[in-house]
Amino acid sequence: FTLSKLKELQELINAMPLLPKFVQDIKNAFSKILGAEIGTVGVFLRSDTNMEDLKDFTGAGLNLTLFNVLKEEEIFKGIKQVWASPFSERSYKWRQRILENPENVYPSIVIIPSVDVDNSGVMITTGVSSGNPSDITIAFSRGPGGAVEGQAAETYSINSSGRSILLSPSRESKYNLLPETGGTGKAYASFNNSILSSEQISQLFNFSKELKNKLPGSPGVESDGPFDVELGFKGTKLWLFQVRPFVESKKAVSSEYLNSMDPQISNDKIINLNDKL
């Protein structure tokens, strides 16, 4: 019964007319905030709800995000689609597993200008693999939308002195593009160069220190970290797209089976290169 009513609610949201004042407010906001008329600049449409980023829960990737929407009518249509997405069966069931009141969800829409970045990804302000809270972990892919869609990203661990260790290279042969005409495209990657330069890694390291110092205690920020940060580079310019608390699966961390998959190797172990494998 509940799921059928959720579907009905989604259909009503997608079919409802938008108030003329709301439409005009959005158009005015494009001119005032984004500096361009609606329909002339591509935007990302994504949701934010009062349920996301609560303690031990993250809604990352749970609801609909629309990439690089350009046309005015598609933007207003997309606003309703994204607004309805938190009431999907998948989103409801995910909240139902964790929250006591998953029905009391109040969505809002975030409209972000599209940036056709050279590379993008996530930065976690803790050592995900090392377990050291002084480390940071970065994972980047070519193009926009990198490392957040299950891609095999170029991943580094950076210690407190700024020394980086490559954990895994990228093996993605294709990456995203954001054409000026709207929508998305694909391009093919070459593997002769790394995705991140040493200068960009240093820039990310310095930015992580700034985040760790400024975010805790800032208005509206209830977490002391670590943080999950989405960002990207266009040339030498670093673009910040989103910051949220980093929520790690405590069950996975404490799992004896998963921990047993990480072999304990002595740092003093000597390997004779002349021995046959």
Q: Is the confidence at residue 100, as pLDDT, over 60?
A: yes
Bridge-based pairing state of the strands 136-142 and 237-245: unpaired
For residue range 50-78, what is the model confidence (pLDDT) as tens digits? Answer: 776 666 666 666 788 899 999 999 999 99
Highest-pLDDT range among 98-102, 148-152, 183-187, 230-234: 230-234
How many residues in total does the chain contain?
277
Name the strands in the sheet holding 227-234, side by side, starting at the edge strand that comes first in the sequence: 164-168, 154-158, 136-142, 119-124, 227-234, 237-245
Let me know: does 90 contact 59? Beta carbons within 8 Å: no
Class of domain 2-113: alpha beta
Tokens for 33? 């905030």
Domain locations in the chain as residue ranges? 2-113, 119-253
Q: Is the confidence at residue 195, as pLDDT, over 80?
A: yes
Q: Identify the CATH homologous superfamily for domain 119-253.
A: ATP-grasp fold, B domain (3.30.470.20)
**Which class for 44: exposed (0-12), middle (13-18), buried (19 or more C-beta within 10 A)?**
buried
Question: Average pLDDT of 135-164?
Answer: 86
The torsion of the CA quartet 211, 94, 153, 262, rounded to 10 degrees, works out to 90
**Structure confidence at residue 254 (pLDDT):** 41
Nearest CA to 230 among 132, 110, 129?
A: 110
